[in-house]
A and B are shown apart, each in its own frame.
Chain A
Amino acid sequence: MDRFDEKSKNSIVEQCIISLADGDMSAMDLLYETIKKDVYAFALSKVCDKFEADDILHDTFIRIYENAKLYNPMGRPMAWIFTIEINLINRYFQIKSRNVTYDEEIMVNTASNDSGNSNSSLDLEDMQKLLSQLNEFEREVIMLHIVSDLKFREIADQLDKPLSTVLSKYNRAMKKLQKILKEDKS
């Protein structure tokens, strides 16, 4: 996506939120089509579970609708949306820490034991396994940069980390992915 597209995406998203605030439910169609991938990829990078990511995707859009009237148009709607999503994810982790004994290590181990993927095309399960070999921060940076097309500076602002850290994590994560995919191929 080039910079023009990115600007146009931001203005589409912003306009959709404003329309939702005005009660125009049809704006949800365009909003969903425009940002579903961003929201879903970020959720999956954080929770590493397809079903939980589905729920977070659903709940994020509900929260966007619920809070649309509180949105202040400033040209950065994705930052607002990711803030909503991060809050939902944090709540998910709070609940999980009380109720569930799910361990991310299990997923990492499963992934590392699993081999033989053809990486010319992957499905979501493969992607989950691939991403589970990165740490949480690396996954976030990868998703926000590659899928959501955020600039590194925007990611640094969003995640409240220094730009240099974001850049270094991104490079490290890409190298890891290259290595894993290369090993898988061989």
Chain B
Amino acid sequence: MKKKQIKKLINQVFDNETPFMLEKIKEDCKLVKQVEPIKTELLETKEKKTPSFYRRLVLGGVMACVLALGIAIGNISPEKIVHAKETTIYLDVNPSIEIQIDKNQRIIECIPNNDEAVKILTNISLKGVEIDTALYAIVGSMYVNGYLNTDTNSILVSVDSLKDNESILLDDISKQIDQVFQDNEYMECSIIAQKVNSDELKEKADDLDISVGKMHLVEKLIYSSDLYSSNNLEELAKMSIHELNVIYQSLNEENKSEDVITGTLSGFIDKEQAIVQVLEHINQEITDVINYEIMTIYHYDINNNPHMVYFISMKLKNEFARKYYIVDCLTGEMLSEDIIKDWFEKFYYFGTN
């Protein structure tokens, strides 16, 4: 059954089945005294304390407790015996943290790789703490500091290990991070865990001022996607992990086969939703469309930062010319509509060019 038929069906039911109680309502209204406005302050202009505000408050509280626990464990734990470095884990949200652990999966050192990470690690001493507890504390701190929210989270985990246990570690760490989000039903997160070779990537990553993990992801996108080439290296490096994740999810499975992908990628609209958004905007149904093409590209905002958009070209039954639309991947906002392609090419960068 097509969506249009379902819509019709639902509407039919409520057309036929909504009870008729007008007379009773009118009778009962006679018993009700209308509320007189005291002043011009009105119902819907009152500032609402939205559920999300409370939710954030509660989540913030929970995360702060977790963070405090992490701090306490870090500072008080009597067992701080650590061995030599065996594995380095790079954690990227936009804060970028390098975590060195020993063979017992205890933290040797946490190194902030950018200013945001300095903020995350301030007042947390994680030396000697087991990695699962440390991850809980770090993710908690990221939430409290506003780098994670309830809807649009992506975490990139990159593991470089001296041992051949990388695959197990990838799996373990992904599960541990995912558990933090599972524990809180309101939060969703998509986690990409990948193996990296720090020695190969360090220099290139330093040149672009990004982490080894992000460098590896960017390279993977360039090598695996037809839309990007090495010319796009700097643009991709400037993107958030969440945006890179949007591109990453569109890669073929074979390009992702070595990685562990956990959780749900939310907070962006997929291609089908972008089409729905356009059709909704122009008040057409999918049956009115003869054909369409959609691709994920990026464009520069007023601060010259690249971010992801869908470029959609569409031929409609009742339109002579093909129409072009641009929809923001993250917000679903229609950025431009009914534009001509020449104009588009002047302002938007195609990765294939």
Q: Do A and B bind each other?
A: yes
Interfacial residues, chain A to chain B (CB-CB below 8 A): 2-3, 21, 25, 28-29, 32, 36-37, 40-41, 54, 57-58, 61-62, 65-72, 74, 76, 79-80, 83, 119, 121-124, 126-127, 142, 146-147, 151-152, 160-165, 167-168, 170-171, 174, 177-178, 181-182, 185
On whether the beta carbons of B43 and A67 are closer than 8 Å, the reply is yes
On whether the beta carbons of A66 and B21 are closer than 8 Å, the reply is no
On whether the beta carbons of A70 and B43 are closer than 8 Å, the reply is yes
Contacts of B29 in A (CB 8 A): 25, 28, 61-62, 65
Contacts of A21 in B (CB 8 A): 34
Interface size class of B (residues with CB under 8 A): 35 or more
Contacts of B51 in A (CB 8 A): 160
Contacts of A62 in B (CB 8 A): 25, 28-29, 32
On whether the beta carbons of B13 and A163 are closer than 8 Å, the reply is no
* Docked pose: A121 CA to B45 CA in angstroms: 42
* Docked pose: A65 CA to B33 CA in angstroms: 9
Contacts of B24 in A (CB 8 A): 58
On whether the beta carbons of B1 and A66 are closer than 8 Å, the reply is no
* Docked pose: A170 CA to B275 CA in angstroms: 13
Given contacts A3-B283, A147-B10, 18 further A-B contacts (CB under 8 A): A2-B283, A29-B22, A41-B14, A67-B34, A68-B34, A70-B35, A83-B44, A119-B1, A122-B12, A123-B17, A146-B10, A160-B51, A162-B331, A164-B151, A167-B276, A171-B276, A181-B1, A182-B1
Interfacial residues, chain B to chain A (CB-CB below 8 A): 1, 3, 6-7, 9-22, 24-26, 28-29, 32-37, 42-45, 48, 50-52, 151-152, 266-270, 272-273, 276-277, 280, 283, 330-333
28 contacts between A and B (CB under 8 A): A28-B22, A37-B11, A40-B19, A54-B21, A57-B18, A62-B28, A70-B42, A70-B43, A79-B44, A80-B44, A121-B9, A122-B9, A122-B12, A122-B13, A127-B10, A146-B7, A147-B11, A161-B52, A163-B331, A163-B332, A164-B330, A165-B151, A167-B273, A168-B270, A168-B273, A171-B272, A174-B3, A181-B1
Q: Of the candidates A32, A121, A178, which one forms a contact with B1 in the assembled complex, judged by CB atoms under 8 Å apart?
A: A178
* Docked pose: A61 CA to B276 CA in angstroms: 33
A170 → B minimal CB distance (Å): 7
* Docked pose: A80 CA to B9 CA in angstroms: 27
* Docked pose: A21 CA to B37 CA in angstroms: 11
Q: Which residue of B lies closest to A54 (CB)?
A: B19
On whether the beta carbons of A80 and B50 are closer than 8 Å, the reply is no
Contacts of A152 in B (CB 8 A): 276-277, 280, 332
On whether the beta carbons of A164 and B25 are closer than 8 Å, the reply is no
Q: Of the candidates B44, B48, B266, which one forms a contact with A164 in the assembled complex, judged by CB atoms under 8 Å apart?
A: B266
Q: Which residue of B lies closest to A120 (CB)?
A: B9
On whether the beta carbons of A69 and B36 are closer than 8 Å, the reply is yes
On whether the beta carbons of B1 and A147 are closer than 8 Å, the reply is no
Contacts of B18 in A (CB 8 A): 36-37, 40-41, 57
Contacts of B16 in A (CB 8 A): 123
Q: Which residue of A lies closest to B55 (CB)?
A: A160
Contacts of A71 in B (CB 8 A): 42-43
Contacts of A177 in B (CB 8 A): 6
Contacts of A164 in B (CB 8 A): 151-152, 266-269, 273, 330-332
* Docked pose: A113 CA to B7 CA in angstroms: 24
A59 → B minimal CB distance (Å): 9
The 4 closest A-B pairs by CB, nearest first: A72-B42, A124-B17, A167-B273, A40-B18
Contacts of A124 in B (CB 8 A): 13, 17
Q: Of the candidates A2, A61, A67, A127, which one forms a contact with B17 in the assembled complex, judged by CB atoms under 8 Å apart?
A: A127
Contacts of B15 in A (CB 8 A): 37
On whether the beta carbons of B13 and A65 are closer than 8 Å, the reply is no
- Please indicate which of the listed interface residues A2, A126, A163 has the most CB atoms of chain B within 10 Å of its own CB: A163
